[in-house]
Amino acid sequence: MKTLSPSERAEILPSLDGWSLVEDRDAIRKRFVFEDFNAAFGWMTRVALAAETMNHHPEWSNVYRSVDVTLSSHDARGLTRRDVELAQRMDQFASGITRDA
Residues in the site for a second copy, rule: CB under 8 A? 37-38, 41, 44-45, 48, 51-52, 57-64
CA–CA distance, 100 with 61 (Å, rounded to integer): 18
Q: Which is nearer to a second copy, 58 or 93 (CB)?
A: 58
Torsion of Cα atoms, 32 then 37 then 38 then 43, to 10° = 20
| Residue 81 C-beta: closest distance to a second copy, Å | 20
Beta carbon of residue 44, minimum distance to a second copy (angstroms, whole number) = 8
Q: Confirm if 96 and 73 have CB atoms less than 8 A apart.
A: no
> What is the smallest separation between the CB atom of 49 and a second copy, expressed in angstroms?
9
